[in-house]
Structure 1
Amino acid sequence: LSWTLYRLDRKEHGEGLSGDAFLYTRCAVVAAGRTAFESVMQDPANFVPYATGQIWAESLLDTPDHAYERITSESWDRNTRYSYESYSNTEGWAD
């Protein structure tokens, strides 16, 4: 999940969006499935309906934690290689 959100964290997708709005909109793309994700990665114009329609999927961020807790009965102190936070993909925001 973190890797996928990180890959969507690009200037051509997020320019003009606030940090939280951009994150939750990227979550909506991921929640829409592989086809939607690949479409947005191929053509940034396909991100526009998610951003302009304010289709958010904030709750997707909690899904891995809840799944881990349900399976192990322990809380997950997750550290990921890639940050899903908005604007953390410096390569995706480079000019």
Structure 2
Amino acid sequence: MNTTTSPTDQAVELPWERFWQLIDLIGGEPAVAFCATFDDGCERLAEALAAGPVEEIVGFGERLAEALHRLDRREYGTQQAANPDDPDDAPAPLSTDGFLYARAAVVASGRAAYERVLADPAAFARYSFRSGERLLHPHEEAYESATGEEWDRLTRYDYESCSNQEGWRKN
């Protein structure tokens, strides 16, 4: 996450409906292994964002951080990563990066998948071995393309793994 501009600078409230429309440009969930289709979808997203107003780029970055932050919870982060391509491979704990990338895979999969996982933490398991890492950058690329400057700002929500203190609080 970038750190020099405060979250209140250029704060833009992108409607959730618009956020999910933009996510739909990706074209579906990331695969377990590298997936050129997912990468191409993220490129389409970056291009669409760059073609719009800068406020929408900033608003997308804010919504993405918020969506990832909402999934940063104990009930998701303590799950085991399981490789669906190798059932003999023993499940293993998620690393902090793996947990972030799995949460990004949920978001990249669209609104229905995201809402399903929020409603049922067990649904997160199918994303535990997927990497949506590429989703973390289209708004940054679009911002640089549109302004000629690097994305250099904090978002209201920290999406790094284990940053949601409320979500990791023991009951």
How does the TM-score come out when normalised to structure 1? 0.93
State whether structure 2 residue 82 is matched by structure 1 residue 10. Answer: no
State whether structure 2 residue 166 is matched by structure 1 residue 80. Answer: no
Partner of 2:135: 60
State whether structure 2 residue 98 is matched by structure 1 residue 21. Answer: yes
Structure 1: which 5+ runs fail to align?
A: none
Structure 2: which 5+ runs fail to align?
A: 1-63, 79-92
Partner of 1:37: 114
Aligned length in residues: 93
Higher fraction of helix: 1
Following TM superposition, by how much is the alpha carbon of 1:59 offset from its aligned partner in structure 2, in angstroms? 1.1
Following TM superposition, by how much is the alpha carbon of 1:72 offset from its aligned partner in structure 2, in angstroms? 1.6
State whether structure 2 residue 125 is matched by structure 1 residue 48. Answer: yes
Report % sequence identity: 55
Partner of 1:91: 166
Relative contact order, CA 8 A, sep 6+: which one is greater? 1
CA distance in 2, matches of 1:87, 1:46: 19
Aligned-partner SS, 1:86? coil
Q: Over alpha carbons, which structure has the higher Rg?
A: 2
How does the TM-score come out when normalised to structure 2? 0.53
CA distance in 2, matches of 1:47, 1:25: 8
